[in-house]
Structure 1
């Protein structure tokens, strides 16, 4: 993990600032007064059990889930007044890139460039950015292939390339490693390393740190919609390393089952 660069990052201006955020899904409260900040150039992992509010928190950042209270700012602008979405790349939590619509890898990735286009015209800069994004995720040889022919890990790489095509200053990624094979995980980690080295700020929703651990500057842990930890990431990989972790899964005979952060 980086040390010296992190000191500079902490003093940078916020690219994400969430204060007292509350949200509900139906009648069920999901976020209960969440405070969350990501500074320029920082890589922050948002951790927690299923149902802790991680995905709701990131979806509230981009306006997919309305807040019932609190505020969200992106690059110092209140989210409801924020319009410069080309600065933000978002990778949703899903494993299919085309949603059943016939499309090639290049076509899906090119759709991530729409926020940068003027008058709907495709420019040389657009094409170069799409080519670069596809190459970054190791799919240059599959650019003309149908997305439906790709593996789950390759689908996820296409989604990340689509987010990178807009050349964002901030990447928000919801479980980018979910259901992804080890080879694709390593490619995604290498891709993120390059983006971080170029100064991109990153917020990652993760179940555990895994191969992304060396990139993480800070970890925020949610439990029942509340922040229970905001500080250095756990040194060990996996759910057992989280602050205050107890768990529910099979143990050796005679061991008790307990409840806690990541079940």
Structure 2
């Protein structure tokens, strides 16, 4: 049985730059098996850079990153990791059907790059989980923004990852798709998937969040219970000081990103 206390993601004093501009200034972050952690913060706080550094898209200038206890530079079992980038065209401008895009997420588990019956079934289940099975043969060019996002999530789920990293999955997505995505994530969490989310606001995902990590200017300013937006605290721009934050700095619960 898996150790529920096992670190799945570990960042120690991680620094990173974009165009010689410091973006991460010594990040410490641990996500343990089965946790759902939300990464919050204003624009430019380093949220997306942090998750992109975890998967190797942004080189770090200092510190250490581990995945499943292995230094990221030596980590090779990427089938264990599902990544959903910020909303983009699902096929990257290449003509493709919904099934083709989602199937590409299964290649990391397919033998010799050939999709067998078990792989095709996993693709079908992924499409069903995001409510897109009826659009399987459609071109992704015909999809709405919310449907694009569902396809990107299905692509990540097709490999049946143990760790799911999602960068603003709810951004610019209609309410119906938000509810589908929340239900999909509930299923993944119930199955034991570890999740790290970059979020603009907690929204319908709030009941699933175990911990919130708030970044400001590339530093962790809060790591603990998610900020609660209740009553006037829900108003945009309202500064709410969280006494459990180490520095008791105000967190703008209405404008987190």
Query: How high is the TM-score relative to the length of structure 2?
Result: 0.90
Give 1:43's match in structure 2, choosing from 24, 36, 43.
36
**Residue in structure 1 matched with residue 105 of structure 2 by the alignment:** 112
Which structure 1 residue ranges, 5 or more long, are not aligned?
1-8, 250-260
Is residue 2:169 matched to residue 1:173? Answer: no
Asked if structure 2 preserves the Cα contact closer than 8 Å seen for 1:110 and 1:130, the reply is: yes
Q: CA RMSD in A?
A: 1.9
| Cα distance in 2, alignment partners of residues 10 and 131 from structure 1 | 30
In the alignment, which residue of structure 2 is the partner of 1:245?
Answer: 250
**Pick aligned residue for 1:135 from 125, 128, 133:** 128
CA, structure 1 residues 167+11, in 2 after alignment: closer, same or farther (shift >3 Å)? Answer: closer
**CA distance in 2: counterparts of 1:53 and 1:92, whole angstroms:** 15
State the shift of 1:234 in Å. Answer: 1.4
Work out whether 1:224 is the aligned partner of 2:229.
no
Find the aligned partners of 1:223 and 1:112 in 2 and give their Cα distance.
33
Q: How many residues align?
A: 243
Contact 1:10 1:39 in 2 (8 A): no
Specify the SS of the correspondent of 1:176. coil
Displacement, 1:242?
7.3
Q: Is there any run of 5+ residues in structure 2 with no aligned partner, and where?
A: 243-248
Task: Please point out which of 19, 34, 52 is paired with 1:59.
Answer: 52
2:179 matched residue in structure 1: 186
Using the TM superposition, give the Cα deviation of residue 95 of structure 1 relative to its aligned residue in structure 2, in angstroms: 3.2
* SS in structure 2 at match of 1:129: helix
Q: Does 1:214 align with 2:207?
A: yes
Structure 1 residues 246 and 12: CA distance shift in structure 2, 3 A: closer
Distance 1:10 1:207 in 2: 31
TM-score (norm 1): 0.88
| 2:11 alignment partner in structure 1 | 18
Aligned-pair distance for 1:96? Answer: 1.7
Specify whether residues 246 and 20 from structure 1 end up closer, same or farther in structure 2 by C-alpha distance, changes over 3 A only. closer
**Distance in 2 (alpha carbons) for counterparts of 1:129 and 1:143:** 13
- Measured in 1, the distance between the counterparts of 2:23 and 2:132 equals 37
- For the pair 1:91 / 2:96, whether they are aligned, the reply is no
Runs of 4+ in 1 over 6 A off after TM superposition: none
